[in-house]
Amino acid sequence: MKVIVVGYGIQGHKRFRVAGEDAVGIVDPVAPEANWRRLEDVPVDRFDAAIVCTPDAPKIELLRYLLERGKHVLVEKPLFADGENDLRTLEALARRTSALCVTAYNHRFEPHFVRMRDLLQSGQLGSVYRCRIFYGNGTARLVRNSAWRDTGDGVLGDLGSHLLDTVRFWFGDVADNFRIVSAERFENRAPDHVVIAAEGRPQIELEMTLLSWRNHFTCDVFAEHGSAHIESLCKWGPSSFIHRTRVLPSGRPPEVSEILVQDDPTWALEYAHFRQLCGCAETDLSNDIWLHRTLTRLGHESQAGRGA
């Protein structure tokens, strides 16, 4: 499969490297390594698929151009548009031209995320009461100094899209009843520390920040028959997974743990998955539509300064 990378920033560099021998060129208006300055300049017979790593604003038009020509697309998250109908139109276009359009959420390929999903789906934990996730990095100053990143809903769209997608990866079609608990602007113009939560079963609390000077991720799932815990991601390793089995009426639970010390495998695994799907899977943007609806509503609330 012949692939071009559109947008050669941080993510574009990663994607180009992972595509390896499939990568046949770069599209970027300023990068000196670029083969073409505009997507329209690329001969359509030179590539089969594109990896789109641009800022949010031009994404929809770029995707429309590619899908109209039957080109498969892996696009960096989040997939935002002016409205849901734009995403539905893209989905219909992709299906009409038999092109695959997939939004990249590489954390779905994090080994412990897959293990958590499998444990939850196995039923071993019984009824799940509560899930709490923290995701933080220390990029507040980089974001503030960016020409385009310190705008809108800030960290909510950036890290919140990952966390909401993870919740759906683990628990399926959760209800859109998330609310803003807090949305702070400690250093940036856009929110740089946000907490959102949802009632029901399970209760879900998601905290995201650009103010964690040492990058960190933690997750705790508490349930009827035990609990499960993740600490750190492979890219920040070591990354640990712990499954504890409840002792009744009380007592120290036995636990099974796994610690991984390895390079981040998610980019290569995600690209291999995308490559495998091309030509044999139908475009389904229902997850993107749900995320768009939820993040748009929460973004309006965070920018309005609402929250408990």
pLDDT (tens digit, 9 = 90+) per residue, 224-266? 999 999 999 999 989 999 999 999 999 999 999 999 999 999 9
pLDDT digits 0-9 by tens, 99-120: 999 999 999 999 999 999 999 9
Q: Is the per-residue pLDDT at 144 higher than 60?
A: yes
- pLDDT tier, 23 (very low <50, low <70, confident <90, very high otherwise): very high
pLDDT digits 0-9 by tens, 207-218: 999 999 999 999
pLDDT, position 308: 40
DSSP secondary structure, 148-208, as one string: SSSSTTTHHHHHHHHHHHHHHHHHSS--S--EEEEEE-SSSSS-SEEEEEE-SSSEEEEEE
With a pLDDT cut of 90, the percent of the chain lying above it is 88
**pTM recorded for the entire structure:** 0.92
For residue 105, give the 3-state DSSP assignment: coil
Tokens of 42: 């690329």
| Nearest alpha carbon to residue 208 among 152, 169, 158, 174 | 158
Relative orientation angle of helices 286-303 and 84-97, to the nearest 10 degrees = 160
Mean pLDDT of all residues belonging to the chain:
94
pLDDT, position 149: 82
